[in-house]
Amino acid sequence: DAMVIQNPRYQVTQFGKPVTLSCSQTLNHNVMYWYQQKSSQAPKLLFHYYDKDFNNEADTPDNFQSRRPNTSFCFLDIRSPGLGDAAMYLCATSRERGWGTDTQYFGPGTRLTVL
Amino acid sequence: DAKTTQPPSMDCAEGRAANLPCNHSTISGNEYVYWYRQIHSQGPQYIIHGLKNNETNEMASLIITEDRKSSTLILPHATLRDTAVYYCIVRGLNTGTASKLTFGTGTRLQVML
Protein backbone atom coordinates (compact mmCIF):
# COMPACT_ATOMS: atom_id res chain seq x y z
CA ASP A 1 0.00 0.00 0.00
CA ALA A 2 1.18 3.50 -0.78
CA MET A 3 2.00 5.29 2.41
CA VAL A 4 3.96 7.82 4.44
CA ILE A 5 6.67 6.22 6.55
CA GLN A 6 8.49 7.82 9.46
CA ASN A 7 11.59 6.49 11.11
CA PRO A 8 12.25 6.00 13.86
CA ARG A 9 8.91 5.92 15.66
CA TYR A 10 10.61 6.84 18.92
CA GLN A 11 13.79 8.88 19.23
CA VAL A 12 15.66 9.83 22.36
CA THR A 13 18.34 12.49 22.23
CA GLN A 14 20.34 14.52 24.67
CA PHE A 15 19.95 18.21 25.31
CA GLY A 16 21.91 20.05 22.62
CA LYS A 17 22.77 16.95 20.57
CA PRO A 18 21.71 17.26 16.92
CA VAL A 19 19.04 14.84 15.79
CA THR A 20 17.54 13.98 12.40
CA LEU A 21 14.10 12.55 11.80
CA SER A 22 13.23 10.99 8.47
CA CYS A 23 10.13 10.67 6.34
CA SER A 24 9.61 8.76 3.14
CA GLN A 25 6.59 8.36 0.90
CA THR A 26 5.50 6.01 -1.83
CA LEU A 27 2.64 8.25 -2.97
CA ASN A 28 4.79 10.30 -5.37
CA HIS A 29 3.32 13.48 -3.90
CA ASN A 30 5.05 16.75 -4.69
CA VAL A 31 4.46 18.45 -1.35
CA MET A 32 5.85 17.29 1.98
CA TYR A 33 5.11 18.88 5.36
CA TRP A 34 6.53 18.71 8.86
CA TYR A 35 4.29 19.35 11.85
CA GLN A 36 5.16 19.52 15.53
CA GLN A 37 2.61 18.29 18.06
CA LYS A 38 3.29 18.82 21.74
CA SER A 39 1.45 16.92 24.40
CA SER A 40 -2.31 17.62 24.46
CA GLN A 41 -1.98 20.21 21.68
CA ALA A 42 -2.96 20.29 18.04
CA PRO A 43 -0.39 19.76 15.28
CA LYS A 44 1.44 22.92 14.25
CA LEU A 45 3.03 23.33 10.84
CA LEU A 46 6.78 23.97 10.90
CA PHE A 47 7.51 24.10 7.16
CA HIS A 48 6.85 22.39 3.88
CA TYR A 49 8.48 21.62 0.56
CA TYR A 50 6.51 22.35 -2.56
CA ASP A 51 8.50 20.32 -5.07
CA LYS A 52 12.04 21.55 -4.34
CA ASP A 53 10.97 24.89 -2.89
CA PHE A 54 11.31 25.21 0.86
CA ASN A 55 8.63 27.22 2.68
CA ASN A 56 9.23 28.08 6.31
CA GLU A 57 6.47 29.18 8.69
CA ALA A 58 7.16 32.59 10.18
CA ASP A 59 7.30 31.38 13.77
CA THR A 60 9.40 28.25 13.22
CA PRO A 61 12.60 28.55 15.26
CA ASP A 62 15.93 28.60 13.41
CA ASN A 63 16.86 25.49 15.35
CA PHE A 64 14.67 23.51 12.96
CA GLN A 65 15.88 22.80 9.45
CA SER A 66 14.75 20.50 6.68
CA ARG A 67 16.19 18.75 3.65
CA ARG A 68 14.50 17.09 0.73
CA PRO A 69 17.07 15.26 -1.40
CA ASN A 70 14.46 13.78 -3.73
CA THR A 71 10.69 13.43 -4.16
CA SER A 72 10.42 10.47 -1.81
CA PHE A 73 12.41 11.60 1.20
CA CYS A 74 12.33 14.53 3.56
CA PHE A 75 14.35 15.08 6.73
CA LEU A 76 13.80 17.21 9.81
CA ASP A 77 17.00 18.36 11.49
CA ILE A 78 16.99 19.80 14.98
CA ARG A 79 20.38 21.40 15.44
CA SER A 80 20.41 21.81 19.22
CA PRO A 81 17.37 20.22 20.81
CA GLY A 82 16.05 21.78 23.97
CA LEU A 83 13.68 20.28 26.51
CA GLY A 84 10.87 22.27 24.91
CA ASP A 85 11.38 20.45 21.61
CA ALA A 86 10.13 17.18 23.04
CA ALA A 87 7.07 16.41 20.93
CA MET A 88 5.54 14.20 18.28
CA TYR A 89 6.81 15.16 14.83
CA LEU A 90 4.44 14.41 12.00
CA CYS A 91 5.25 14.21 8.32
CA ALA A 92 2.52 14.65 5.74
CA THR A 93 2.30 14.70 1.97
CA SER A 94 -0.12 16.00 -0.64
CA ARG A 95 -0.33 16.24 -4.37
CA GLU A 96 -0.86 19.84 -5.33
CA ARG A 97 -1.65 20.43 -8.94
CA GLY A 98 -1.90 24.20 -8.88
CA TRP A 99 -5.65 24.24 -8.45
CA GLY A 100 -8.31 22.72 -6.26
CA THR A 101 -7.72 21.23 -2.86
CA ASP A 102 -5.79 18.10 -2.12
CA THR A 103 -5.86 15.82 0.88
CA GLN A 104 -2.88 15.59 3.18
CA TYR A 105 -1.75 12.11 4.16
CA PHE A 106 0.05 11.78 7.46
CA GLY A 107 2.67 9.38 8.68
CA PRO A 108 2.47 7.76 12.13
CA GLY A 109 4.82 10.32 13.64
CA THR A 110 8.12 10.19 15.53
CA ARG A 111 7.98 10.85 19.24
CA LEU A 112 11.07 12.76 20.31
CA THR A 113 12.29 12.71 23.89
CA VAL A 114 15.01 15.14 24.98
CA LEU A 115 16.97 14.21 28.10
CA ASP B 1 -8.21 30.69 6.60
CA ALA B 2 -11.31 31.08 8.73
CA LYS B 3 -11.28 30.13 12.39
CA THR B 4 -13.37 27.20 13.63
CA THR B 5 -15.03 26.52 16.98
CA GLN B 6 -15.73 23.01 18.25
CA PRO B 7 -16.88 21.62 21.60
CA PRO B 8 -13.89 20.28 23.51
CA SER B 9 -15.40 16.87 24.16
CA MET B 10 -18.38 14.63 23.42
CA ASP B 11 -19.54 11.16 24.38
CA CYS B 12 -21.40 8.70 22.20
CA ALA B 13 -22.77 5.21 22.82
CA GLU B 14 -21.41 2.50 20.58
CA GLY B 15 -23.73 1.81 17.64
CA ARG B 16 -25.36 5.22 17.83
CA ALA B 17 -24.73 8.13 15.48
CA ALA B 18 -22.10 10.62 16.56
CA ASN B 19 -22.86 14.18 15.48
CA LEU B 20 -19.90 16.52 15.81
CA PRO B 21 -20.64 20.22 15.29
CA CYS B 22 -18.33 22.92 14.02
CA ASN B 23 -18.85 26.66 13.73
CA HIS B 24 -17.02 28.62 11.04
CA SER B 25 -18.97 31.85 10.86
CA THR B 26 -16.21 33.78 9.03
CA ILE B 27 -15.83 31.27 6.21
CA SER B 28 -15.45 32.83 2.79
CA GLY B 29 -16.90 31.68 -0.48
CA ASN B 30 -13.90 29.73 -1.73
CA GLU B 31 -13.03 27.99 1.52
CA TYR B 32 -13.66 24.32 2.06
CA VAL B 33 -14.54 22.54 5.29
CA TYR B 34 -12.26 19.60 6.06
CA TRP B 35 -12.48 17.01 8.80
CA TYR B 36 -9.57 15.00 10.10
CA ARG B 37 -9.33 12.77 13.13
CA GLN B 38 -6.41 11.67 15.26
CA ILE B 39 -6.53 8.44 17.15
CA HIS B 40 -4.25 8.39 20.17
CA SER B 41 -0.54 8.22 19.25
CA GLN B 42 -1.25 8.13 15.51
CA GLY B 43 -1.03 10.69 12.72
CA PRO B 44 -4.15 12.59 11.69
CA GLN B 45 -6.41 10.82 9.23
CA TYR B 46 -8.47 12.50 6.54
CA ILE B 47 -12.22 11.88 6.85
CA ILE B 48 -14.16 14.08 4.44
CA HIS B 49 -14.40 17.57 3.00
CA GLY B 50 -17.00 19.78 1.33
CA LEU B 51 -17.69 23.22 -0.05
CA LYS B 52 -21.43 23.77 0.20
CA ASN B 53 -23.19 20.54 -0.67
CA ASN B 54 -23.61 17.71 1.78
CA GLU B 55 -21.07 14.96 1.27
CA THR B 56 -20.96 11.28 2.18
CA ASN B 57 -18.27 8.66 1.95
CA GLU B 58 -17.59 5.29 3.51
CA MET B 59 -16.47 6.86 6.77
CA ALA B 60 -18.89 9.70 7.43
CA SER B 61 -21.36 12.31 6.24
CA LEU B 62 -20.78 16.05 6.22
CA ILE B 63 -23.74 18.38 6.52
CA ILE B 64 -23.03 22.05 5.77
CA THR B 65 -25.68 24.65 6.55
CA GLU B 66 -27.03 26.73 3.71
CA ASP B 67 -25.24 29.87 4.96
CA ARG B 68 -22.07 27.74 5.36
CA LYS B 69 -21.44 29.16 8.82
CA SER B 70 -21.54 25.78 10.48
CA SER B 71 -21.28 22.10 9.69
CA THR B 72 -21.81 18.72 11.31
CA LEU B 73 -19.78 15.57 10.87
CA ILE B 74 -21.89 12.46 11.28
CA LEU B 75 -20.47 9.04 12.07
CA PRO B 76 -23.59 6.93 11.47
CA HIS B 77 -22.76 3.95 13.70
CA ALA B 78 -19.95 4.84 16.04
CA THR B 79 -17.65 2.08 17.28
CA LEU B 80 -15.00 2.05 19.97
CA ARG B 81 -12.39 2.50 17.25
CA ASP B 82 -13.89 5.90 16.43
CA THR B 83 -12.66 7.27 19.75
CA ALA B 84 -10.34 10.08 18.68
CA VAL B 85 -9.86 13.84 18.48
CA TYR B 86 -11.81 15.24 15.54
CA TYR B 87 -10.57 18.39 13.86
CA CYS B 88 -12.72 20.68 11.73
CA ILE B 89 -10.50 22.80 9.46
CA VAL B 90 -11.41 25.52 7.00
CA ARG B 91 -9.02 25.69 4.10
CA GLY B 92 -8.79 27.94 1.11
CA LEU B 93 -8.66 26.88 -2.48
CA ASN B 94 -5.18 26.01 -3.64
CA THR B 95 -3.92 28.59 -6.12
CA GLY B 96 -0.53 27.15 -6.92
CA THR B 97 0.80 26.96 -3.41
CA ALA B 98 0.46 24.23 -0.84
CA SER B 99 -2.87 24.11 0.95
CA LYS B 100 -1.73 24.22 4.54
CA LEU B 101 -3.79 22.88 7.42
CA THR B 102 -4.27 24.98 10.53
CA PHE B 103 -5.51 22.70 13.30
CA GLY B 104 -7.72 24.04 16.06
CA THR B 105 -8.29 22.39 19.40
CA GLY B 106 -10.71 19.78 18.04
CA THR B 107 -13.38 17.67 19.75
CA ARG B 108 -12.37 14.66 21.77
CA LEU B 109 -14.99 11.99 21.01
CA GLN B 110 -15.28 9.14 23.47
CA VAL B 111 -17.33 6.20 22.24
CA MET B 112 -18.60 4.10 25.12
CA LEU B 113 -20.04 0.60 25.46
Residue B6 contacts residue B25 (beta carbons within 8 Å): no
Length of chain B counted residue by residue: 113
What is the average pLDDT value for chain A, to the nearest integer? 93
Count Cα atoms within 13 angstroms, Cβ side, for B84. Answer: 22
User: How many percent of chain A have pLDDT more than 70?
Assistant: 94
Predicted confidence (pLDDT) at residue A111 exceeds the cutoff of 90: yes
Beta bridge partners of B34: B49, B89
Predicted confidence (pLDDT) at residue A89 exceeds the cutoff of 60: yes
Across the interface, of A48, A97, A98, the residue whose CB is closest to B100 is: A48
Predicted confidence (pLDDT) at residue A87 exceeds the cutoff of 90: yes
The pair phi, psi for residue B81, each rounded to 5°, is: -70, -10
| Interstrand relation of B107-112 and B9-13 (parallel, antiparallel or unpaired) | parallel
Which is more confidently placed, A74 or B104? A74
Closest CA to B66 of B50, B55, B78, B53: B53
Q: Which residues of B touch A90 (CB under 8 A)?
A: 43-44
Q: What is the pLDDT of residues A8-17, one digit of tens each?
A: 999 999 999 9
Q: A50-81 as b/e, with b when 16 or more CB fall inside 10 Å?
A: beeeeeeeeebeeebbbebeebbebbbebeeb
- Whether B100 sits inside 8 A of A98 (CB atoms) is no
User: How many percent of chain B have pLDDT more than 70?
Assistant: 93
Q: What is the pLDDT of residues B20-44, one digit of tens each?
A: 999 999 998 888 999 999 999 899 9
Q: What confidence score (pLDDT) does residue B97 get?
A: 65
Q: Tell me the C-alpha to C-alpha distance, in Å, between residue A69 and each of A35, A46, A51, A56, B91.
A: 19, 18, 11, 17, 29
Q: What confidence score (pLDDT) does residue A1 get?
A: 65
Predicted confidence (pLDDT) at residue A100 exceeds the cutoff of 60: no
Q: How many CB atoms lie within 10 A of CB A91?
A: 26
Q: Where are the beta strands (DSSP E) in B1-113?
A: 9-13, 18-23, 31-38, 45-50, 55-56, 61-64, 70-75, 84-92, 107-112
Predicted confidence (pLDDT) at residue A68 exceeds the cutoff of 70: yes
Mutation target for A interface from B37, B91, B99: give the one with most A CBs within 10 A: B99
3-state SS assignment for residue B50: strand
Across the interface, of A31, A42, A101, the residue whose CB is closest to B106 is: A42
Q: What is the pLDDT of residues A28-44, one digit of tens each?
A: 999 999 999 999 999 99
Mutation target for B interface from A106, A110, A111, A113: give the one with most B CBs within 10 A: A106
Predicted confidence (pLDDT) at residue A90 exceeds the cutoff of 60: yes
Residue A26 backbone zone (phi > 0: left; psi -120 to 50: alpha; other: beta): alpha
